[in-house]
């Protein structure tokens, strides 16, 4: 006896979006979402992702939720022999009002939760799973209280350390970095005017993302020990360091929130679905925060899951297995292309060898001087398909 048509595991934004998409496809759905601390980070979502959220009824006008991203400004802040030119990408060149919007994850969570409350066929269970197995009767989940749940379809959205992925036998490759990311909010003396500004340093970018008014979200990637030392500084000393790294382009800087450090790694899987199990979000892929691909890729997972659900015949006895295989086919090219792009970009920032520096500098010169190449880069970076 099945407890539902589908079980979605994971309470992050990708898990919330997946649970909504599955329920809206008409499946009785259980969402395993144990409570956690509020996610104080932000997500820069490109326009295809924003349009998906709007078409799915998850958000209304984006200006009610976030800040417009109309420019991307890249500044080579290294002292390397071969340096790239300062490059500005403007959304107007692509015929767009904006590349995307920067949203507070807390606001997106609130909007997604409101959608969940309107779905009578979606039930939230605030418990973690402790065991997952593919039995002869289909996927089986054991909960922390000892209870069991069965469903033909399981959606694993349970993050980088996905228990669903491991227990279902998906082969995952993980590559850790010595770099980490320090994040916090800052108040600047001068606003960013819709521009995301990336200072490229030898150990990773130091990025300001507009967060409304003169506030910015800082994402600073560097060696983990360097970031820990910076975090341990007094407020005045840390502010002075941030002023130096931003080349004092935006006037005074004041810390608006505490700093947090996150380790960086990449995770890739050979395929994202099989045997009635599909993986979405960081259960299927994880990258350093380069090129704004994290949640964007997760929402493309959910969009393709919706597409697969729309074409499957659930009257067939093995519908969940066939759906998982269809989903894996739909996601294969995007996951491979995006993973390769982000990994190559991140490693090019870290490369000390002259040939790699020359290729990177030459590539940015080409993007700066060739409008047609810039438009192609816009499409790739935004995940247009």
Quote the pLDDT of residue 175: 80
Asked if pLDDT for residue 370 goes beyond 70, the answer is: no
Q: How far is 367 from 247, CA to CA, in rounded Å?
A: 24
Q: Which of 202, 188, 183 is nearest to 243 (CA)?
A: 188
Question: Confidence band (pLDDT; 50, 70, 90) for 340?
Answer: low
pLDDT digits (tens, 9 = 90+) for 305-321: 999 999 999 999 999 99
Edge-to-edge order in the sheet of strand 42-46: 42-46, 100-104, 66-69
Q: What is the mean pLDDT of residues 186-199?
A: 94
* Contacts of 376 by beta carbon, 8 Å cutoff, 6+ apart: none
Q: Which helix (H) or strand (E) holds 222?
A: strand 215-223
**What six digits make up the tokens of 53?**
């959220």
End-to-end CA distance of the chain: 40
Q: Whole-prediction pTM value?
A: 0.87
* % the chain with pLDDT above 70: 84
Q: How far is 116 from 265, CA to CA, in rounded Å?
A: 31
Between 381 and 172, the more confident residue is: 172
Quote the pLDDT of residue 230: 98
* CA-angle at 72, arms to 66 and 77, nearest 5°: 125
Cα 313 to the center of its chain, rounded Å? 31
**What six digits make up the tokens of 262?**
């996150």
* Contacts of 142 by beta carbon, 8 Å cutoff, 6+ apart: 129, 130, 131, 132, 148
Check if the beta carbon of residue 115 is closer than 8 Å to that of residue 58. Answer: yes
Asked if pLDDT for residue 349 goes beyond 80, the answer is: no
Q: How far is 342 from 345, CA to CA, in rounded Å?
A: 5
**What six digits make up the tokens of 225?**
């020990």
Pairing, β 71-76 against β 87-90: antiparallel
Quote the pLDDT of residue 361: 46
pLDDT digits (tens, 9 = 90+) for 2-23: 799 999 999 999 999 999 999 9
Asked if pLDDT for residue 79 goes beyond 80, the answer is: no
Asked if pLDDT for residue 89 goes beyond 90, the answer is: no
Mean pLDDT score of the chain, rounded to an integer?
A: 87
179 three-class SS:
strand
Asked if pLDDT for residue 217 goes beyond 60, the answer is: yes
């Amino acid at each position: 006896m099945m407890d539902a048509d589908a079980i979605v595991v994971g309470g992050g934004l990708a898990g919330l979006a997946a649970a909504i998409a599955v329920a809206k496809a008409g499946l009785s759905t259980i969402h395993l979402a144990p409570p956690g601390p509020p996610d104080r980070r932000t997500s820069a979502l490109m326009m295809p992702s924003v349009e998906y959220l709007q078409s799915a009824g998850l958000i209304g006008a984006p200006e009610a939720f976030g800040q417009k991203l109309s420019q991307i400004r890249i500044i080579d802040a290294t002292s390397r022999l071969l340096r790239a030119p300062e490059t500005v990408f403007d959304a107007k060149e692509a015929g767009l009002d904006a590349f995307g919007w920067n949203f507070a994850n807390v606001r997106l969570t609130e909007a997604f939760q409101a959608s969940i409350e309107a779905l009578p066929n979606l039930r939230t269970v605030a418990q973690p799973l402790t065991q997952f197995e593919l039995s002869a009767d289909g996927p089986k989940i054991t909960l922390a209280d000892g209870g069991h749940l069965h469903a033909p379809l399981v959606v694993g959205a349970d993050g980088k350390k996905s228990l669903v992925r491991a227990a279902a036998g998906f082969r995952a490759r993980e590559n850790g970095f010595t770099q980490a990311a320090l994040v916090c909010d800052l108040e600047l003396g001068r606003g960013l005017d819709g521009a995301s500004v990336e200072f490229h340093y030898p150990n990773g970018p130091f990025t300001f993302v507009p967060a409304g008014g003169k506030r910015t979200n800082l994402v600073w990637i560097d060696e983990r020990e360097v970031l820990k030392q910076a975090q341990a500084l007094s407020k005045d000393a840390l502010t002075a360091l941030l002023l130096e790294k931003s080349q004092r382009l935006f006037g005074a800087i004041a810390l608006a929130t505490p700093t947090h450090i996150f380790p960086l790694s990449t995770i890739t899987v050979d395929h994202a679905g099989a045997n009635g199990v599909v993986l979405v979000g960081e259960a299927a892929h994880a990258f350093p925060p380069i090129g704004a691909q994290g949640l964007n890729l997760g929402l493309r997972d959910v969009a393709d899951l919706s597409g697969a659900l729309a074409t499957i015949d659930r009257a067939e006895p093995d519908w969940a297995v066939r759906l998982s295989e269809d989903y894996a086919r739909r996601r294969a090219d995007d996951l491979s292309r995006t993973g390769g792009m982000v990994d190559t970009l991140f490693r090019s920032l870290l490369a000390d060898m002259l040939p790699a520096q020359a290729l990177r500098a030459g590539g940015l010169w080409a993007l700066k001087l060739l409008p047609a190449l810039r438009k192609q880069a816009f499409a790739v970076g935004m995940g247009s398909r």
